[in-house]
A and B are shown apart, each in its own frame.
Chain A
Amino acid sequence: MEPFTKLTGIAAPLPMQNIDTDKIIPARFLKTIKRSGLGVHLFDPLRFNKDGSEKPEFVLNQEPYRKAEIIVAFENFGCGSSREHAPWALLDFGIRCIIAPDFADIFFNNSFKNGILPVRLPREVCDQLVEDAKMGGNARITVDLERQVVVRPNGEEIHFEIDAFRKHLLLNGLDDIGQTLQHGTAIDTYEAQQKQDRSWMPTTTAA
């Protein structure tokens, strides 16, 4: 996983609530067995007409937002399905950070696991950042994970909260599995204990 340290880039304003996973990547594009290549379908219902042509009014079809690395959106971003294709599609398009007042839980988790930083900031701040983002290429936004700040184009710094463990993993590009496997003995001990405490537990090979 690619580490996330500090990112300065173009932010695309997407001032909508409840951007669900079917908008981020509709179900018909889930029929893949790979993680890459989904960027072309990102936000398909918002981005393309039925004949496949671009909707010019959609922000990611406009310059300079075709190169956006940050998205600023409103409440409940990523609600709906558990499909990890949503962060894969965002990442494949080039998005590394999403700023919103809050996120759906599963999407929030999935983002971290793919090197995307979801930043929770109050709605008033997101309103300001949307305005900043509308200034396009003249107004880059910086997200500094180490210092936990978002820097507005006017230099104002806004602090954000993040779980220390997730921050550590993201800064170092560490994958969760490697981390957990370091606790292998604890898992062994748990399993041995469980065999006694809940000896009734059947396996999936039992029937």
Chain B
Amino acid sequence: MSASKPRTLFDKIWDAHVVERLPDGTCILYIDRHLLHEVTSPQAFEGLRAAGRKLRRPDLHIAVADHNIPTVGSRVPEDIKEEDSRIQVQTLEKNVVEFGVPYIPILDKRQGIVHIIGPELGLSLPGTTLVCGDSHTSTHGALGSLAFGIGTSEVEHVMATQTLLQAPQKNMRIDVTGTLGLGCTAKDVVLAIIGKITTAGGNGHVIEYTGDTITNLDMAGRMTVSNMTIEAGARAGLIAPDQRTFDYVKGRDFAPKGEAWDKALAYWKTLPTDPGAHYDTNVFMTSAEIAPMVTWGTTPGQVIPVTGVVPDPMLIEDEGKRSQHLRMLEYMGLTPGQHMTDVKVDVIFIGSCTNGRIEDIRAAAHVAKGRKVADGVQALVVPGSGLVKAQAEADGLDRILLEAGFEWRDPCCSMCLGMNPDKITAGQRCASTSNRNFEGRQGIGGRTHLVSPAMAAAAAVTGRFADVRQFG
């Protein structure tokens, strides 16, 4: 196809997976990988059962329970106290047996948050299509996989047909250049991006992140950026695979080996966007626009540098927007003009599929070392998988954190969403490394501020939001 017109990374993956183009342009798209978890799959299995259907290719699916698993105490399903949580987990365990789906058991050390373990186990690969009934599936785009979240009906569709019906998406490039300033991380990059393009900015698009700021990120950082793509409204966020990607993938459990590896590598090297390829939308940013960030509102786009002040709604002309903004401030218990560094925190959550990797825990431990969690503050560190936990313990990070007064938990989604025992209560304020600060996300009436792991640790030891640049 060398004579054809230049294509983007997204175009190439898309074209290679079109089974059939329907007259109206909708495509039947082949799906190489399907990851399942306990929350969005039961109704899909129920649907298959009712229609007498089977999985077309069970050997391309893999399941893990993550959202409902407690982070302290017994982890076996029978011991989960909340009845409906227990039923969801047990239902998954029954369904994988009945339908022959590969499954990573809860007590397996490889268990963890689905978007952490996909890359970690080499299940997420460049040039593949990967889906999961979970919007943060965009994470896997960091490896150059066209990965996106789907609803339960689509989960059932993939199970039965190994395909999805998809309308073509537009190409958006977000190009970030320049060296990141002191204390700035991938989380700050992606928060700044969402702040710039807004939470609807990516609707209808697949984003490709380019520029040296992005390519200089380690794989964990790239995953943090791709992970939050959905918060900018785009379902998938790609980063072109390069040597760093290949080095990361090589040797992982499910990655191709031997001759297959060589073939895969040769193919993956053809994937990056051709020079001159067309993007429907281009966004350019520089690292000068990025500082250690913190959100102040109830959408991830409402973000300011930690040195900033809470914006004044009275400056907004549109009446509807102004009243929404006012309501938000009331919910968040903030006043216009207030310095973020004067805002006190009650709870710290370090974890989730956004920032639950070993690099994130290391960054938090670096700030925590030799310091103490402030009085009255509860600080949780929840590794994203059993392997992350084991690595952190081998590196002694757990001891640093425990000595500083952090709690060291077992892997799960934990306080990222109010679905398991880890919740914040009404009015509590949480500095969280997760991805959503919607009202009630971490528990009814809870107030969430999104930050990087280092910023969360800095808040933990200060008792207020703090500028991580002052913590050498």
Contacts and interface: CB of A to CB of B under 8 A. Distances in A.
Interface of A: 15-18, 20, 22-23, 26-28, 30-35, 45, 50, 74-76, 79-84, 87, 102, 104-106, 109-110, 113-114, 163-165, 176-177, 179-181, 183, 186-187, 190-191, 194, 197-207
B363 interface: no
A82 B133 contact: yes
B33 A204 contact: yes
A183 B163 CA distance: 10
Nearest to A83: B40
A104 B203 contact: yes
A190 B235 contact: no
Chain B interface, DSSP helix/strand/loop, else mixed: loop
Nearest to B299: A18
B123 A204 contact: yes
Nearest 4 A/B pairs, CB to CB: A31-B84, A33-B42, A113-B153, A84-B151
A197 B264 CA distance: 10
Contacts, number: 199
A84 B153 CA distance: 8
A102 B233 CA distance: 12
A30 to B, nearest CB: 6
B266 to A, nearest CB: 9
B253 interface: yes
Given A33-B42, A84-B133, A187-B56, 15 more contacts: A22-B436, A22-B439, A31-B419, A74-B320, A76-B233, A82-B133, A84-B153, A113-B154, A177-B157, A177-B161, A180-B160, A187-B161, A187-B162, A205-B102, A206-B254
B338 to A, nearest CB: 23
B260 A200 contact: yes
Contact of A105 (B33, B134, B204, B253): B204
Most chain A Cβ neighbours within 10 Å, of B91, B135, B417, B441: B135
Given A176-B157, A180-B157, A204-B102, A81 B82 contact: no
Nearest to B262: A200
Interface stretch (B59-67, B341-349, B383-391, B403-411): B59-67
A75 B123 contact: no
13 contacts: A23-B439, A31-B82, A31-B85, A33-B87, A74-B320, A79-B233, A82-B151, A84-B40, A105-B233, A106-B151, A110-B151, A181-B160, A191-B162
Interface in B309-343: 320-321, 324
Interface stretch (B23-31, B173-181, B184-192, B285-293): B23-31
B79 interface: no
B426 interface: yes
A187 B163 contact: yes
B1 interface: no
Contacts of B39: 30-31, 83
B199 to A, nearest CB: 6
B162 A176 contact: no
Contacts of B374: none
B419 A30 contact: yes
Contacts of B137: 82
A201 B33 CA distance: 10
A203 B244 CA distance: 23
A186 B26 contact: no
Interface in B114-145: 121-123, 125, 128, 133-135, 137
B283 interface: no
Most chain A Cβ neighbours within 10 Å, of B53, B62, B152: B152
Contacts of A32: 42, 84, 88
Given A27-B418, A177-B53, A180-B163, A105 B123 contact: no
B43 A34 contact: yes
Contacts of B62: 204
Most chain B Cβ neighbours within 10 Å, of A75, A183, A201: A201
A18 B437 CA distance: 13
A202 B254 CA distance: 7
Contacts of A165: 22-24, 26, 165
A45 B149 contact: no
Contact of A82 (B46, B149, B261): B149
A82 B203 contact: no
Nearest to B426: A50
